Amino acid sequence: MRIDVRGQSFGLTPAIETYAERKFETALDRFANRISTVTVRLFDDNGPRGGVDKRCLAELTMPRSRGLMIDEPSNDLYAAIDAAAERASRAVARAIGRRRAKRSLAAEYREAERTGISRRVRVPAS
């Protein structure tokens, strides 16, 4: 997994760059073999005027899958990085779970066609 941190519309300090790299590396460590690149873009939209103008935009690229985009605004750049890393971890886990469920369902259909026995009916939990 390659992590690329970029600063847009402000000077990116080495401290912020290192912080973002470590946060995303820690949050996505268990999915490292499933993610090829993570591009983190940090924005300061209003400059020195203040307000909710700092954003962390993370783009995750996964092989054989659509990419994921996480956009997290905040008053503080470090808080935006923290929240985006956490959301990215949950989004990747959810995407992997969906892919796994589709594969399992396809395997059940193939098995039903092969054996001639109808696929088992799942009762939704109430």
pLDDT tens profile 58-104: 999 988 888 899 999 998 899 999 999 999 999 999 998 887 777 77
Give the pLDDT confidence score for residue 41 in this predicted structure: 95
Whole-number Cα distances in Å, 81 to 16, 28, 72, 86, 110:
9, 13, 8, 9, 43
Residue 58 lies in a domain: yes
Residue 37 lies in a domain: yes
Residue 99 lies in a domain: yes
Give the pLDDT confidence score for residue 70 in this predicted structure: 95
In this prediction, residue 123 has a pLDDT band, given cuts at 50, 70 and 90, of low
Residue 121 lies in a domain: no
Residue 11 lies in a domain: yes
Please tell me the total count of domains within the chain: 1
Tell me the residue range of the domain where 43 lies. 2-115
Residue 55 lies in a domain: yes
Tokens encoding 33: 């073999």
Residue 125 lies in a domain: no
pLDDT tens profile 17-70: 999 999 999 999 999 898 999 999 999 877 666 666 889 999 999 888 888 999
Q: What is the CATH number of the domain that holds 96?
A: 3.30.160.100
Give the pLDDT confidence score for residue 104 in this predicted structure: 77
